[in-house]
Amino acid sequence: MPFAHHCHCSYLKILAIILTVLTICFTATVAVQAAAGNTVRLRLVDANNSPVSRISLSAWQVNGPSAQATVYTGLDGTALLTLPPGKYYFTGDITNLKARAIYTRGLHNTNETTFYFISKPVVLGNKPENIVLTIDSADYINIVDIAKLQGFQLHISQKELGITANIRLGARHNSLRLYLPLRKEYIIQQVAGLSHMQWPIYATPGSQFILPY
């Protein structure tokens, strides 16, 4: 009888150990899944808090080599995406904002200008997030008289913020209005075929740059 009682206690101990291990594994799995992908609700708005729709936004991890996700904003300016925790910035071509007068001030020919947006970095945690990205109408620089070359691109980087972006100008466009975090030094690189030239610039509100070529 004592032997049977001992065996029974041993089985209970083994069962308790198994259940504990399974609980730990399940909890770890849930934690990994949560870390691997949390729902982020983005809302892109203009300076008047009106939605900016039909924009392709790419999410980049700070100092990361490539985009983590790309989504389109809906009619209400929102988009849903899944991202692991980390620090991110968002980029996108916003040329359709030329229909809103507050974004075209000082431009002589909007039909030859590409509008582009780079957000400030934001931190995403281990839970669902609601992020509002506002395109401030005053937070821009202009790069003008750009060479009209097929496949023309600009590469821009900011070391402190960990930002890099490749910007392709629209067809027959020769200028760029770039909305981005200001009062920072950026490196602008002109990419046209095998030609790669770069210049440092300091971004202040409404500043204008002409790149030599």
The predicted pLDDT at position 34 comes to 33
Question: Exposed, middle or buried: residue 115 (CB in 10 Å: 0-12, 13-18, 19+)?
Answer: buried
SS3 per residue for 143-211? EECCCCCCCCEEEEEECCCCEEEEEECCCCCCEEEEECCCCEEEEEEEEECCEEEEEEEEECCCCEEEC
The predicted pLDDT at position 198 comes to 85
Whether the model pTM is above 0.95: no
The total of other beta-carbon atoms located within 10 Å of residue 191's CB is 18
Spatial distance between the Cα atoms of 13 and 18, rounded to a whole number of angstroms: 9
The predicted pLDDT at position 211 comes to 74
The predicted pLDDT at position 29 comes to 33
The pLDDT profile of the chain, 213 residues, written as one tens digit per residue, is: 454 444 445 655 554 555 454 444 433 333 333 334 689 999 999 999 999 999 999 999 999 989 999 999 999 999 999 999 999 999 999 999 999 999 999 888 888 899 999 999 999 998 889 999 999 999 999 998 876 554 567 899 999 999 999 998 888 888 999 999 999 999 998 776 656 778 899 999 999 998 776
The predicted pLDDT at position 20 comes to 53
The predicted pLDDT at position 145 comes to 80
Residue from 39, 93, 50, 102 nearest 75 by CA:
50
Q: Which residues fall within 8 angstroms of residue 193, CB to CB, at 6 or more apart? A: 149, 151
For residue 105, which amino acid is it? Answer: R
Please tell me the number of Cα atoms within 13 Å of 212 on its side-chain side. 4
- Residue 89 contacts residue 62 (beta carbons within 8 Å): yes
For tokens 């030599």, what's the residue?
Answer: 212
The predicted pLDDT at position 6 comes to 47
The predicted pLDDT at position 30 comes to 32
For tokens 């030609």, what's the residue?
Answer: 195
The predicted pLDDT at position 109 comes to 83
Give the start-end residues of each E strand in 62-125. Answer: 67-72, 78-83, 86-93, 113-118, 122-124
Residue from 106, 101, 175, 181 nearest 136 by CA:
181
